[in-house]
Amino acid sequence: MRTAIRLANGIGAKVALIDQNIQLTLQKLKKNLTWKEKIRFISDIFKAPFQKKIRIDLNKVPKQEVINKLIKDTKSRYPSVYKILVEERNYIMAKNLNKIIKNNPTKKIIAIVGAGHEEAILNLVKQWN
């Protein structure tokens, strides 16, 4: 994200932060995380060294199948985490992006979002237009 902002500033492009404030996201997470999910999280930490590893190069965007599996696993094991970190933020980012598109119909818009959000945001924006 920092690189995207630096490059945008370098060419004189406007930058709009479309995601929800991180403090609000963390407050929601703290408030809505169930005891079951907390226990499962601790259990998963202890099991992790003995489970099959997925290698992810943080310098590259993971393959879509890896992203989909991680999202699916998060949704099933941690529904509150999925709802707050993925689903709600997808909606907020899509809503904010859609507003920018509507307010700038003749401009080219570039949106930089996390790989796990791209597909859902695109679907929401297409659905609304």
Q: Domain residues of the chain, as ranges?
A: 17-128
Percent of the chain having pLDDT more than 90?
A: 67
| 116 DSSP assignment | H
- List Cα–Cα distances, 129 to 13, 32, 92, 98, 126, in angstroms: 24, 32, 16, 8, 5
The pTM score is: 0.86
pLDDT, position 92: 98
Of 69, 68, 76, nearest to 52 (Cα)? 69
pLDDT of residue 54: 73
**30: confidence class by pLDDT, cuts 50, 70, 90:** very high
Task: Give tens-digit pLDDT for 59-114.
Answer: 888 888 989 999 999 999 999 999 999 999 999 999 999 999 999 999 988 899 99
The residue among 56, 126, 114 whose CA lies nearest residue 85 is 114
pLDDT value at residue 72 = 96
pLDDT given at position 111: 92
